[in-house]
Amino acid sequence: MGFSLGALFEAGLLVINGIAVLQDFSPPLPEDPDGKPVPRFLALYGLAENKEEFGESASVKSKLIHVINAVRTLMRMPLIFVNTAAIIYLFLLG
């Protein structure tokens, strides 16, 4: 893969897809007697929830949490269409 606009687009798409699939907690398993959700990647590293109060200066961690949550909520439907278009493009034009 050479350094081109298409390669940059594909790399950006892969990064956004990676952010979009991150989970805070997994749903409880049916055989789990406690019924509590299991912490996943974001919760293990303290990126699951923002503990910042209104009016405080935002830290880098807080901004990262906001970006992850924004990508997960706002980009869900557009990513489906962009991924479909990218797959068709790569199948037709390689």
pLDDT, tens digit (0-9, with 9 covering 90-100), for 24-67:
666 666 666 676 666 677 777 777 776 666 666 677 877 888 88
Q: Whole-model pTM?
A: 0.69
pLDDT in tens, 70-88: 888 888 889 999 999 999 9
Answer for the pair 36, 54: CB distance below 8 angstroms, yes or no.
no
Cβ partners under 8 Å of residue 35, min gap 6 = 28
Lowest model confidence (mean pLDDT) among 2-6, 44-48, 90-94: 44-48
H or E segment to which residue 38 belongs: strand 38-39
